[in-house]
Amino acid sequence: MQKKELPGEMYRPSAEVIGRARVKDWNAMVAEAEGDNQKFWAKEAEELHWFRKWDTVLDDSGKPFFKWFTGATTNIVYNCLDRHIENARRNKLAFLWEGENGDFRSYSYFALRREVCKFANVLKSLGVQKGDRVTIYMGRVPELPIAMLACARIGAIHSVVYGGFTVEALAERIDDSASRLVITCDGAYQRGKVVPLKDIADEALQRAATVESMVVVKRTGHDVKMEAGRDMWYHELMALPIAGNDCPAEVVDAEHPLFLLYTSGTTGKPKAILHTHGGYMVGTYTTLKYVFDIHEEDRYWCAADPGWITGHSYIVYGPLLNGTTSFLYEGAPNYPYPNRWWQMIEKYGINILYTAPTAIRGLMRFGDAWPNRHDLSSLRILGSVGEPINPEAWKWYHTVIGKERCPIMDTWWQTETGMFMITPMPCVPLKPGSGTRPFPGIIMDVVNEEGQSVGPNEEGYLVIRNPWPSMMRTLYNDPDRYIKQYWSQFPGSYMTGDSAKRDEDGYYWVIGRVDDVIKVSGYRLGTAEIESALVSHPMVAEAAAIGLPHEVKGNAIHAYVILRAGNSPGDHLTDELRSHVAHELGPIAKPEKITVVDSLPKTRSGKIMRRVLKARALGKDPGNLSTLEE
């Protein structure tokens, strides 16, 4: 959401918040981390378990292909589970889970380790080996983190595809990663209905050639087709003698691939971001500990989906590395009533809530009476992620949910960064809408086209100047694109793809994407994917997609299509096209509106000028049109 002016209010944390905070002097921590960056990260890494210690903290000899903790061996899952089993956390709850239909399950660290070991043994017996890719396409059930952890435990590489994606998006990701195994559910509950995940996976598998087996978790119990020789039930496999209770964690190199996560970029197909065991572990562990100020007795709830980076870093890995108790919820925030979240916060005594502005705006619409019916006094810290938070939503979150006691951690980061990059900590004075300053040790800047820093309150490109442990290592199978996309525009600096301003206090104000990525309800989608879904329909010749401001979603997708000869426009047709996109890509990608046009504004080299479409739709000046075809 565009910020027209920078609000000047400062919210200072209370003495109570500061008194409890792990970090009380932010400036001292920044000075320490900037003074000796490698020492800073090494000190954090020392708190974790390594089978063998590193020789070098940062190896930048092959930059921008940076390596961290080289020479070390570890396993992130050993650190998430086994490390705690050996101490007092053995019986502590790792996960509490509530299904949308009211089902409840909980796992102690001991139990979670056992389930992960069992499934890791199942994976091995299915022939999954170190380095193999496994696609996970599931709803928000405990078996999702279990599957991720089981893969990582044996050194396999998981590729989680968000359960809100559908056929083509899934097929493309399976194919690109050459996964031989897919793990899915029969279905997922969402707003009282069943999302038929297994049926979607079946259809995707007709388009993806590499898959040999599919493991299916029974969640909804409705009828699904099981293909003999390919499909197996999770619960049946877990009951076999091969699913033994112990499976030692594979000793892997710190730089061994942990997972692929596909995300949308400027052009073409989604790209596979690659993260590795060692650095990602240190980054997520450290940032969660300080930013959400994790204490032993906390109950923490990150309400994202495990299928996105927020879920990977701050539902699965970060919380388990910190030995905290996390709450997981399966369904929609307003089902069956708009008090569902508030009811669960009260019921489970949640202390830390981390969510996205779109969810806050969505729940805000129902009014204050819903949250006010519940005792939310357990909350201590709130968090926001995914897009800029507008001041109205910030204030509502702060007053109605946090009762003006809870500081809001507005965390800016990306799939690529793996961890929080611009974020406050509880001791830091806040300005609504700003993520405050970079995390200690991270050097960021706002620059002009030439790569020079711009002055206070001037808009420019947001860049990162130095490497950090949980940075992506490359784009899987596409190292050239990694360099081109992230390290070419401003040599030596990482280009985030965002524009931002920095004010006179050094606080950052992220404005939004400068590329063809659209953030819809915090979800990251590419215009290219939406357009290719549209032109895969036989009636469409050409398509262009743009994002326009939306009150709840932040942005909504608007598409323009040119029809193939012989087809005439009408509501029926545009409805069909919208449904087609939802079927191919997923309901999150369904365009708000589709307009049939005769031509699209293009450059002379044939590139669609989306900014012209956007300016026109908003009634604004389209700017420089010198490259326009006609």
Please give the residue ranges that form the binding site for ligand PRX (CB under 6 A). Answer: 263, 309-310, 384-388, 410-415, 435, 496-498, 510, 513, 519, 524
ω into 479 cis (within 30 of 0): no
Question: What is the phi-psi region of residue 317: left when phi exceeds 0, alpha when psi lies from -120 to 50, beta otherwise?
Answer: alpha
Supply the DSSP symbol for 312.
I
Min. distance of Cβ 444 from ligand PRX in angstroms? 12
Q: Which is nearer to ligand PRX, 435 or 438 (CB)?
A: 435
Please report how close the Cβ of residue 183 comes to ligand PRX at its closest, in angstroms. 22
> Could you give the CA distance from residue 257 to residue 259 in angstroms, rounded to a whole number?
6
Query: What is the smallest separation between the CB atom of 417 and ligand PRX, expressed in angstroms?
Result: 8
CA angle, 19 then 23 then 29, to 5°: 145
Q: How far is the CB of 404 from ligand PRX (least distance, A)?
A: 21
Q: For ligand PRX, which is the closer residue by CB, 183 or 517?
A: 517
Alpha carbons 396 and 367: distance in angstroms, whole number: 10
Q: Determine the distance from the C-alpha atom of residue 555 to the mean position of all C-alpha atoms in its chain, rounded to a whole number.
A: 17
Question: 145 or 424: whose CB is closer to ligand PRX?
Answer: 424
CB 182 within 8 A of CB 214: yes
Which is closer to ligand PRX, CB of 433 or CB of 601? Answer: 433
Burial of 244 (0-12, 13-18, 19+ CB in 10 A): middle
Q: Report the amino acid identity of residue 151.
A: C
DSSP designation for 186: S
Neighbours of 630 (CB within 10 A): 6
Nearer to ligand PRX, 120 or 462 (CB): 462
How many C-beta atoms lie closer than 10 Å to residue 31's C-beta? Answer: 11
Minimum distance of ligand PRX from residue 273's CB (angstroms): 8
> Tokens 């012209």, residue?
612
| Per-residue tokens: 176 | 């690109």
CA gap 117, 104 in Å, rounded: 22
Tell me how far, at minimum, the Cβ of 59 lies from ligand PRX, in Å: 25
- At closest approach, how far in Å is the CB of 421 from ligand PRX? 9
Nearest to 442 by CA among 508, 536, 363, 374: 508
CB of 378 to ligand PRX, least distance (A): 24
Report the C-alpha gap between 252 and 300 in whole angstroms. 29
Q: Which is nearer to ligand PRX, 176 or 416 (CB)?
A: 416
SS3 451: coil
- Specify the residue, 243 or 510, whose C-beta has the smaller distance to ligand PRX: 510
Residue placing its CB nearer to ligand PRX in the complex, 311 or 467: 311
Look at residues 369, 385, 347, 372 and name the one whose alpha carbon lies nearest to residue 102: 347
Per DSSP, what are the bridge partners of residue 438?
A: 422
**Which lies closer to ligand PRX via its Cβ, residue 214 or residue 309?**
309
**Residue 151: burial class (beta carbons within 10 Å; 0-12, 13-18, 19+):** buried
The nearer residue to ligand PRX, 94 or 510, going by C-beta atoms, is 510
Q: C-beta of 342: minimal distance to ligand PRX in Å? A: 23
- Judged by beta carbon, residue 109 or residue 523, the one nearer ligand PRX is 523
Pick 177 or 263: Cβ nearer ligand PRX: 263
What is the spatial distance between Cα 532 and Cα 99, in angstroms, rounded to a whole number? 35
CA dist 22 and 34 (Å) reads 19
Least distance from C-beta 411 to ligand PRX, angstroms?
Answer: 5
Helix (H) or strand (E) holding 309: helix 309-311
3-state helix, strand, coil in the chain (%, to 5): 30, 25, 45
Minimum CB separation of residue 387 from ligand PRX in Å reads: 5
Q: How far is the CB of 339 from ligand PRX (least distance, A)?
A: 26
